[in-house]
Amino acid sequence: MATGETFVIITGGIDLSVGFMVGFSGVICAKVMVTLQAAGASQAVAISSGIIAA
């Protein structure tokens, strides 16, 4: 992630929201995993919520 962000920042397309999206998706994934006790469902929900938030 850091290498990709460095390239984006150097070329002038500053995008600092990637760190937020990684953290946000991780929190959503953990909350769903604890609630539903299912790893597969939590991954799908985390990916979906990341796409919606972007």
Per-residue pLDDT tens for 5-52?
777 778 877 766 777 878 888 888 888 878 877 667 777 877 787 778
Per-residue pLDDT tens for 20-33?
878 888 888 888 87
What secondary structure does DSSP assign to 1-54, as a single string? -HHHHHHHHHTT-----HHHHHHHHHHHHHHHHHHH--HHHHHHHHHHHHHHH-
pTM of the predicted model as reported, rounded to 2 decimal places: 0.52
Torsion angle, alpha carbons of 35, 51, 22, 14, to 10: -160
Categorize the per-residue pLDDT at 1 as very low, low, confident or very high, splitting at 50, 70 and 90.
low
Domain boundaries, the chain: 15-53
Cβ atoms of 40 and 11 closer than 8 Å = no
